[in-house]
Amino acid sequence: LRNGIVIDIPISDVALDDIIEVRPGERIPVDGEVSEGTSFVDESMITGEPIPVEKVPGSLMVGGTVNQKGALRLRATAVGGQTMLSQIIRMVEQAQGSKLPIQAVVDKVTLWFVPVVMLAALLTFLAWLTFGPSPALSFALVNAVAVLIIACPCAMGLATPTSIMVGTGRGAEMGILFRKGEALQLLKDARVVAVDKTGTLTEGRPVMTDLELAEGFELDLVLAKVAAVESRSEFDSITGMGVRATVDGERVEVGADRFMRELGLDIEYFSKTAIRLGNEGKSPLYVAIDGRLAAIIAVADPIKSSTPIAINALHQLGLKVAMITGDNANTANAIARQLGIDEVVAEVLPEGKVEAVRRLKESYGKVAYVGDGINDAPALAVADIGLAIGTGTDIAVESADVVLMSGNLQGVPNAIGLSKATIGNIRQNLFWAFGYNAALIPVAAGLLYPAYGLLLSPIFAAGAMALSSVFVLGNALRLRRFQPPLAEDSEH
- Report d(CA 399, CA 385) in Å as an integer: 10
Known active-site residue 189? no
From the list 8, 31, 189, 196, the catalytic residue is 196
> Which residues, 6 or more positions from 223, have their beta carbon under 8 angstroms from its beta carbon?
211
Q: Which residues are catalytic?
A: 196
